[in-house]
Amino acid sequence: MQAQANRVFSRCFIISCGAILVATAAAKFWGASLKTPILAHRDSLFYMNLRHLLWLTGTYEILLFVLLVTLNRTRLKLALISITGGQFVIYRLFKALVKDAAVCPCLGNVPESLGISQAFADRFLIGIACYFICGGILGIIYQSNNAQ
């Protein structure tokens, strides 16, 4: 019974992460295609303009979604989700450490279009990253307990 509950948790978590990845990738692609002056700024970590960084991260998110759909190994899917959340947190920590004052337009112009403040969108994205990390790690722990 416990093993079945763990499989359902993992499946639901992976599906929710896939939906989030598609939504955030679409927001990035949409935002990167608009003429927004901030997207011409150079990112302090990757040394490319933010427009190109949005295209790159949106593509990464779509590729991760494809892996989540096509892979059969649940633990690998959970690990990839956790790693992605960790990458986002590390990126944000780096930006804070170098005191990069530029706002991260991680969702392009979508928050502005919806009347949402950039500060709220940033906190929301950090929450998503924590969801990816914690859910992925819990899923891996549950999967490991099932293997024993």
Q: Which residue has the higher pLDDT, 144 or 58?
A: 58
85 pLDDT exceeds 80? yes
The 10s digit of each residue's pLDDT in 10-65 is 999 999 999 999 999 998 898 888 887 777 788 878 888 888 998 999 999 999 99
pLDDT of residue 101: 57
pTM exceeding 0.95: no
102 pLDDT exceeds 70? no
- Average pLDDT for 103-120: 73
Instruction: Annotate the chain with three-state secondary structure.
Output: CHHHHHHHHHHHHHHHHHHHHHHHHHHHHHHHHCCCHHHHCECCCCCCEHHHHHHHHHHHHHHHHHHHHHCCCHHHHHHHHHHHHHHHHHHHHHHHHCCCCCCCCCCCCHHHHCCCCHHHHHHHHHHHHHHHHHHHHHHHHHHHHHHC
- Average pLDDT for 139-144: 87
- Any idea where the domains of the chain sit in the sequence? 2-147
139 pLDDT exceeds 60? yes
2 pLDDT exceeds 80? no
